[in-house]
Amino acid sequence: MKAEMNSILRTFAGLLVLLLLSSLPTKAQDAVLTVSGSTQVEVGEQFRVVYELNTEGTNFTGPSFRGFRVLTGPMLSTSSSIQIIGGKMDRTSKQTYTYILSASQEGEFTIEPASVEVDGKTIRSGRLTIKVVPASTRSQQRQEGGEAQAGGIGKNDLFLRAIPDKRTAVIGEQVVVTYRIYTRVPLAKLEVVRQSSFPGFWNKNLIENNNMPQSRQVIDGEEYVVADVRRVALFPQKTGKLTIEPMEINCIAQVRARQSRPSFDPFESFFNDPFFNRGLQNIPQTLVSEAITIDVSPLPGAARPSSFTGAVGQFGLSASINNTEIKANEAINLVISVSGNGNLELLELPKPVFPPGFEVFEPKLSTDIKTGGDGISGTRKADYLVIPRFEGNYRIEPIEFSYFDPRRKEYITLRSQAFEIKVAKGDASESGSTIMMSSQEGIQYLSSDIRYIRTSAGKLKPTDSYFFGSWLYLLLMVGLTAAFAGLIYWHNKTQALRQNQTLLRNRKATAVARKRLKTAKQLLGKGDQNTFYAEMSQALWGYISDKYTIPKAELSIDTVKNYLLTRNAPEELIDQFVDVLNLCEYARFAPGDTGKKMEDLYNKGIEVISKAENLIK
């Protein structure tokens, strides 16, 4: 009994102490948000940036982390503690916000302050400067060995580069940037997630129709399949250091899966060939190019010709006239042409000065642009239609055109020859009516300006003969009514079909696939390997997506198998479909006779689509 009483007294005393402690004054403290993290990291390295608040706060806002990839975060954790010093209770709370980042490019980057609200006030952290250095040899070896990335794909097995042909330029000078994939493994389903932006540049794409030129290249003793994803010509419009943001691409790398046990079957290595899709593994990959900085300088101000209007590159000038001896009121054509390599689409053609008494129409402008690995080249022309109104001898002074040559770093002025024109007196009969065509296609002269009175009676008809109420009128009304009813029926049927997108896609699937296969047949005859494989891949995947209503975002080998099984497709057809799909993806990267591979793929594609049409309803 005494022991129980002592226990009760101790419990009561403890509660009393807690009440007294809670009534003691607490020590106030100022809210501070601090930032910590590594100040030097390597390219490809993952690291933490931690923001610590010494009290409780709300509405935390992190920075943009320019130059880094945010892998995860912010991750919030909280903690609190109570201390009694000299009869005063010190109660503290702490909040921690953690980011995990990855360095993707070299350079020195400053992370701007983060912010958080405490008791209605905004508290900001300091800045954090991080220097990103190249990856060390040991890190590269770990990545090459497969430790840095899943599925045994090292950093040097697959990467994306942005390659500029120059890193310094003047305003208006052409800069060609090529985005190139290097791979030692087969790839499928390349998808551009984020295109590079070009602030401060006028740009033009140099690769059309999604064609990706491929080649083979040996780097450090290793052979790569190289494909140009994008090539763009840039023309800077302002001075300073202009930054081109990185491009980001998602793709699927296909590698041979490791066998769990050794095989002694002499035929297994043959059927494990990539063409038969046995023992393969799809590994999603994200490729990011590096950012590029172009240092743009102004054009020289000294010795700038008065005829310079902004042309930068290498150009030639020509001028021609179709006739130098004419009569008054007859037309002549003066053609001015500028050709070369540079900012052709931006330059202003020189304007000739015509003598008084010449009527000049607005010139007809034409541009013939050619794109290639060296950038933009071609010709711009201005065709002037000119009519001298009075007789006499006239002179068109030489036409002057100036441009800046960045290779020679100087202004160059070109001049055409002068044109001497002799205008004789025009015919009196031609001085009357002249019609100038606004389309500049020519001058039209009227042979007479008076219409003669019609002397023939023409076709006559009885006065009591009317079309309204006749048999022809009634037949026409009945026909129009039937046609209108048919049009309404066809319209309603078409609208119902358009609203049922699933049925519409299903009906059009075979027609679309046949059209693509027809195009692929033409490319097969031409031997156009890259475009052929792209067309065959779109024909097969597009047929499956439309015929079986599979969203394109969900297309994969596994989803194709599942959808075909639900349609009770034969197992033989499913295996054949899967083999053809993978053959289409692998053939472009595999060695061997390209013509034989292309023809086999085309025949198998026709066969599997035909079987699917006959067996699956």
What is the tens place of the pLDDT at every residue in 211-239? 677 888 888 888 898 988 889 999 999 99
Lowest-confidence segment of 208-217, 292-301, 364-373 by average pLDDT: 208-217
83's tokens: 């201390």
For the chain, what percent of residues have pLDDT higher than 70? Answer: 73
**Rounded to 5 degrees, what are φ and ψ at 19?**
-65, -40
What pLDDT shows up at residue 319?
94
Higher model confidence: residue 163 or residue 212? 163
Give start-end residues of each CATH 2.60.40.740 domain in the chain. Answer: 33-133, 316-436
What pLDDT shows up at residue 379?
93
What pLDDT shows up at residue 448?
43
The 3-state DSSP class for residue 38 equals coil
Lowest-confidence segment of 82-86, 511-515, 550-554, 556-560 by average pLDDT: 82-86
206's tokens: 């140099």
150 has pLDDT over 50: no
The pLDDT of 518-538, averaged and rounded, is 77
The 3-state DSSP class for residue 234 equals strand
What pLDDT shows up at residue 615?
62
What pLDDT shows up at residue 442?
43
312 has pLDDT over 80: yes
DSSP string, 442-499: -EE--S-S-PPPP-S------TT--STTSHHHHHHHHHHHHHHHHHHHHHHHHHHHHH
373/379 Cα distance (integer angstroms): 17
Higher model confidence: residue 259 or residue 608? 608
Reported confidence tier of residue 4, pLDDT bands at 50, 70, 90: low
Lowest-confidence segment of 160-164, 443-447, 560-564 by average pLDDT: 443-447
583 has pLDDT over 50: yes
Average pLDDT of every residue of the chain: 77
Q: Give the sign of the dihedral formed by CA 322, CA 323, CA 326, CA 328.
A: positive
What pLDDT shows up at residue 88?
60
Reported confidence tier of residue 399, pLDDT bands at 50, 70, 90: very high
Q: What is 501-615's CATH number, 2.40.128, 1.20.1050, 1.20.120, 3.40.395?
A: 1.20.120
The pLDDT of 397-417, averaged and rounded, is 93
423/392 Cα distance (integer angstroms): 5
- How confident is the model over 533-573, as pLDDT tens digits? 777 777 777 777 777 777 766 667 777 777 777 777 777 77
Q: What is 316-436's CATH number, 2.60.40.740, 3.30.450.30, 3.30.70.920, 1.10.357.10?
A: 2.60.40.740
Q: Give the sign of the dihedral formed by CA 442, CA 447, CA 451, CA 456.
A: negative
Q: Which of 296, 284, 210, 297 is nearest to 253 (CA)?
A: 284
For the chain, what percent of residues have pLDDT higher than 90? Answer: 23
265 has pLDDT over 80: no
- Domain 150-259+269-296, second-level architecture: Sandwich (2.60)
Specify the pairing of strand 58-61 against strand 115-118.
antiparallel
pTM, to two decimals: 0.45
Provide the angle, in degrees to the nearest 10, between the axes of the packed helices 571-586 and 529-547. Answer: 150
Cα torsion through 276, 278, 284, 290, rounded to 10: -60
- Quickly count: other Cβ atoms within 10 Å of residue 43's Cβ: 19
CATH number given to 33-133 = 2.60.40.740
Give start-end residues of each CATH 1.20.120 domain in the chain. Answer: 501-615
What pLDDT shows up at residue 490?
81
What pLDDT shows up at residue 524?
75
445 has pLDDT over 50: no
The pLDDT of 181-190, averaged and rounded, is 86
The pLDDT of 435-448, averaged and rounded, is 42
